Every structure is written in structure tokens, then in C-alpha cells.
Amino acid sequence: MMLAHSPSSAGWSARSLPPLLGPVLVFACYLVMVARHTQNIPYWDDYDAILIALLDLHRDGNWFNFLFHPHVDHLIVPVKLLGEVQWRLFGRVDFAWYIYLGNLSLFGLYLCWRATFPHLRERPLWQVMAALALFNLSYWEASIWAMTALSNLPVLVLAWASLVWLARPSRGAFGLGLGLAVLATFTQGNGLLLFAAGVLVLVPQRRWRALALWLLVGAALAAFYIGLRQYFVVDTKIANASTLLLSRPHEVLMFFLAFIGAGFRAAHAAMAAGALLLIGLALAWWRVPTSRSPVLLAWLGLLLLSALAATWSRASIGVEAALSSRYSLYGCLLLALLIGMAAPAIDQMGRGRKVLSWLLMALLAVGWVATYRVNKAELRQHYDNNLALQAEPGTCSVYAYPGQTHAAKALAEARATGLFPIDRIRNCVDIESSWLSDWPPAVRADGSLDRITVEGAAVVAVGWVRLPDTLPERRLELSAPVAPSKIELASLDRPDVAVALSDPGLRRSGFILRLEYPSTEAANAALLSLCLGYRGADGQRVVLPHRAAECLLGQ
């Protein structure tokens, strides 16, 4: 199959400026929405990835550990370096900087889209459509989450720009593309997948020496990455999808499709949107050959590889994990590609092409506004919570993972050193495991154990819980006949719960609990009598309902 044009020039000229005005306006509106909700507050991974990493660096001076200790599956060197630069220049860290810089980098996605579809550079309507698809609040967490803003967003910009430069035949362009690929690898884990996607650019052009160097650098980085994980003994705390793929392959497919359509809050809507988007891309590639290019093929490949990697590492949690807003950008990128690929086909429709073009424009504009209206409630809640933080002394942060009991201690140390000079933090959640031999009679908790299964020699429980604000200690308690050899607790996004109960605060109510036992028999025995709950304000035991615990509830 022949691949058509390769975008070898960005084509900047005086004529290209008017078509830029629409996308620039859309991007400016997006930045205004981000700025309205951005605050200097740590959120979830920011405690470990930024505050604690910086405190450890200034305590022991180990730069290698600081820069290259993987954060779960990722190297996040720019995130860590920005914090150190701020501390050295200003004596403190400002989380808003991460958010602003990460979101500003998004304009690079639009420039890469222009370079990938050069025949649309002078078409303002199509460029505005692409901008509406790329710049919206479907990935709203990038407005409040510092680490996500400066890793999830720039890695995609760097990767696409790398492929654009890689397609150009000069040595200088190849060197720049290779450098951007290396930088992407150290920005987030899926940057490493770029070296597989780049093959789809170099092979059609028969640039064998460049291909050999490209693969050599990719192999060296992969070896370095694997070596780091061995050196630091990185534990992702989440089982991969290998077992799930054999036992329940439909759940793996559901996760993959939901990841592609993650802009929708409901799992079934996300899966349907993901399936339709993939079908549309396949039809456009087949029926519109004039849109094909090595860069487009490689970029599609990288996005799908990233989706597969996320599926492999997180599908065992459940499809709800695919609905996190930070994944929505992948669907937005695929939609922007579909817009660019469909344009030549619509141009061939004769008189109806203008009507159809404007209809698509109207649909995208309505979707853009709807996305803002749906997600601004989430953003506003976080904003108001953070304002309350300034007025309520003596508490600690709600935006830490369950089990992240060191968050309050890290914030206290950060304040003492001047790293993050804030003295009031809100709603500390200290979720721990405790083993109780004699629980008193229980009542049903406001929550659920949605799924509890045995995977090998481990019990895996997935659910959600609403912990009352009146609790003296906000922690979960666990009861089982035999204590497991290892306990792992991680948080999950549960937008389905937040929507069903009309409470945006429940979006972070989900959890996954993994209990490892010496044998499958021990895990099966534990499954039959596992109980998870919390102590009420009056000391009464409150249990999360599931079939294994019904007898303990007296039902």
C-alpha cells in the first residue's frame, strides 16, 4: 500500500496567519477556563512525585534517585526538575506553574496536526474543528493536578513533534526527532513506545541507517528503563491483564474501548464512543487514501499502543479505571485525526459539502460547550474545597490516595523547610488495614464491594465507599481469618458513582484492595469470610456489603 504525502514543511507564510486565528481563539478560551480553576495545591500523586521527592533530594543529595526513581510505570524527569528549579530560584514550589506550563504545551498538538494535514493549512473551518476537538475540558484533571499536567500532556506533544521531524529527510531533522523522542521517554512511560511507532515512518522511506540508529537508541533506553525498575524494585501495586485476558477477555476489550472513549462518564457510553471512533478511523484510512502519510500512520500506532499499554497495566482494576479524565485526551487526539482524514472525502461531495462541513462544525461546538458545562461542576467543587482549605485550620488534605498516610507529614515538613509554605490542610483521610478478631454487630455501609475475586494466590476487591465527615478517624478496617502476606490498597476514579448519586465528591470514592496469600486455597478461604468496613462515630461497625459478608450483617 502506498502512503501519500509526507509533511516535510510546516508551510508558514503570511497566508497561513488568518487560518490560525480561530484555533488561537479556541485555545485562549481553553486557557482561561484552566486559569479560573488552577490553584497552588498538591493533588494525589503530587505528594510523592513532587513534595516528597524534593524533600528527599535536599535531605540526602542523591540526584540519581531524584531524577530516575520511577513513579509507578513512569519516569517524570521534567516534573521533578521544575520543582527543584523553583526551590532554588524562589525558595518554594508553586503547583500552579506545572499546570500552566503543561497546558500551554498543548498548542503544540495543534501545530503537529497542521503539519500532518498540510492540505488543510489554508482551511480555517477545518482548523477550528480540530482545535475544538483538541482543546476542551474533557481532561479537566489537567487543570488541578500538577504532575498530570506536566507529564501526560507534554509527552504527547513531544512524541507527535518527534514523528513530524523524523519524516523529514535531513540529518538535522532526524537528530531533532531523536532528541524529542528521548525527552518524551523521560517525561512519561509511553514515550518509550515512540521508538516502535517511529519504525512506521523510517521503513516506508527506506532510511535504513537512520532506522538502525533509531532502534539502537530505543533499545538502550528500554534497557535503562528495565534496569531502573530492577534497581529501585518498583512495584506498581496492580496486576497486569495477563490472567484477565485468558479468563475474561471481554473485560480487557471493554477497558480498551472505554479508554479510547474516556471523555464520557458512563462506562457503556465510553465504550460505544471508543468503538465508533475506531470504526470511523478505519473507514477513513480505507476510503480516503489522500489523507494517508507515514506520520499519520505512526501517530495512530503510538496512540493505540498507549491505549493497549494502559489496558495491560490497569484492566484488572475494572473498566471504571479507564474513565479517568486524564485519559480523555487520547480520544480527543483520535477525533482530531478523524476530522483531518475525513476532510478530503467531504470535499468530494459536491454541493452538500459546505452544509455537511458546517454541520460538523456546529456539532463540535455544541460538544465543546457541553463538555465545559458537564465538567465545570467537578472543577468548581475542587476550587471551593481549596478555598475552604485557607479558612479551616487544624485539618489535612482530602486529595491524597487512600493509604498515603505520609501526606500530612510531608506537608508539615514542606512548610517547615519553606518548600510549600501553607499551614492549613483539609480533611485528612487515613485509610489503614487493621485486624480485628471480634467485630460487634454491623450495619450496612454507604458503599459497595462491586467485585471480589481470586486471582492466582491473591484476593482482589474493587468497590467504593463514602466515609462520613463525622468520623473521628477516616480509615478502613479489614477482617479475615488469616492475615495475608501482603496488602496493597490503591484509589480509583468512580465517575459512575458520582453521577448516579449526584455527588461530585464521590468521584474519588473508589478503591482496589489486593491481598496476597501463600496459596490459592488460602485465598479462596479468605474470600468466603473477608469483611471490609469502618468504625462509625458511635463505635459501631459499618460493613461494605457483598455476598461473602452477608452473614456478618445478620441477613
DSSP β-bridge partners for residue 531: 479
Give φ, ψ of 396 to 5 degrees: -140, 175
| Cα(47)–Cα(492) distance, integer angstroms | 17
Per-residue model confidence (pLDDT) at position 496: 74
Q: Please give the pLDDT value at position 306.
A: 94
As given in the structure block, the three cell numbers for residue 87 are 526551590
Q: Hey, is 255 helix, strand or coil?
A: helix
pTM over 0.85: no
Residue 90: Cβ within 10 Å count: 11
Give the model's pLDDT for residue 528.
62
Compute the distance between CA of residue 26 and CA of residue 135 in angstroms, rounded to an integer.
7
How far apart (Å, rounded) are the C-alpha atoms in residues 276 and 515? 38
Predicted local confidence at residue 12, as pLDDT: 45
The Cα-based distances of 145 to 41, 259, 391, 408, 485 in angstroms read: 8, 19, 22, 18, 34
pLDDT in tens, the chain (555 residues): 334 444 444 444 445 557 788 899 999 999 998 988 887 878 777 878 888 888 888 888 899 999 998 887 889 999 999 999 998 898 888 888 999 999 999 999 999 999 999 988 888 899 999 999 999 988 888 888 889 999 999 999 999 999 999 999 999 999 999 999 999 999 998 999 999 999 999 999 999 999 999 999 999 999 999 898 888 876 554 555 566 666 778 888 888 999 998 877 777 888 999 999 999 999 999 888 877 899 999 999 999 999 999 888 887 777 777 888 889 999 999 999 999 999 988 888 877 788 888 999 999 999 999 888 888 777 776 666 555 544 443 333 334 443 344 565 666 677 667 777 654 443 333 322 222 233 334 445 577 777 777 777 788 888 888 877 666 666 677 766 567 777 877 778 777 777 777 777 777 778 888 888 887 777 776 766 677 777 766 666 677 765 433 333 332
**pLDDT for the residue numbered 533:** 74
Q: Give the per-residue pLDDT at 304.
A: 95
DSSP state for residue 439 in the 8-state scheme: P
480's CB contacts (< 8 A; 6+ apart) are 435, 515, 526, 529, 530, 531
* pLDDT at res. 207: 93
Question: What is the CB neighbour count within 10 angstroms for residue 469?
Answer: 8
Q: Name the strand (E) or helix (H) holding 515.
A: strand 510-516
